[in-house]
Amino acid sequence: MDEKTEELRDIFMDVADDETVTESQEDTHGSLASAEDVEARLREAVADMRDTLDFDTDLDVDDLATVVEQFYAGDTDAEIAARLDADADPETVARARLDLHLLREADTDAPFDLATLRDADEESPAALAAALDADEDDVAHYRRVVDVREEIRRVNDRYRAEFENVLQDRELSERLTSSVHEDGLDGATEGQETDIDI
């Protein structure tokens, strides 16, 4: 401690009537979330959604969180199914995606006008399939898509927004952490002789 620092410390101790001149540190809002924190936040968002809305699938929260992560990673339903702990097929994953409000472009690419399904009151899938000259399973799927789109509007798309916020936080944290490691390594090895024959 130099002379000026000692003087300032003495002045502080006289004014503060306290022997301690350091302040304890605590986490602030600006700190980066750990991978565990991000995973916990994602599971919490999925659990909240599952408790609030009706889900068609019975996958557990961990598997549903995996569906969210891998959907945003760009995986197909078959690739996601292969990653799940549960024994699930691509159709189960597709239903889980709809439960989670995660629509693909193909989900809305129907061979008929989806407005017809939205406007159809309580007609059965069989009656609608006959009226639309379409497969009954396709009609049931696209009717579910129409219902999901309505549900997304009703909840102001808040669940997908939360998923994206959580995953962006993780991406930012990983990017910053990897750049710190790279920068530190670059600085440590700068000017070093690397082609050494031992």
- pLDDT higher than 60, residue 182: no
Structure tokens belonging to residue 142: 């696209």
Cβ atoms of 44 and 60 closer than 8 Å? no
Beta strands in the chain (DSSP E): none
Structure tokens belonging to residue 132: 């639309």
Supply the mean pLDDT for the chain: 80
CA distance 108 to 20: 65
Nearest CA-CA partner of 126 in 139, 143, 110: 139
What's the pLDDT band for 170 if we cut at 50, 70, 90? low
CA distance 58 to 141: 18
Among 4-18, 72-86, 130-144, the range scoring the smallest mean pLDDT is 4-18
- pLDDT higher than 50, residue 160: yes
Q: What's the sign of the alpha-carbon dihedral 14, 17, 18, 21? A: negative
Which range of 59-73, 103-117, 119-133, 164-178 scores highest in mean pLDDT? It is 59-73
Residue 25: its H or E element: none
Nearest CA-CA partner of 116 in 102, 100, 96, 133: 133
Three-state DSSP at 86 gives coil
pLDDT recorded at residue 176: 46
Rg (CA), the chain: 27
User: 38 φ, ψ to 5°?
Assistant: -65, -45
CA distance 196 to 175: 32
**Which of the 8 DSSP states describes residue 107?**
G
Cβ atoms of 67 and 102 closer than 8 Å? yes
- Roughly what angle, to the nearest 10 degrees, separates helices 158-189 and 61-72? 70
- pLDDT higher than 50, residue 188: no
- pLDDT higher than 80, residue 31: no
Return the percentage of the chain with pLDDT > 70, whole number: 75
Cα 69 to chain centroid distance, Å, stands at 6
CA distance 63 to 60: 5
**Which of the 8 DSSP states describes residue 31?**
S
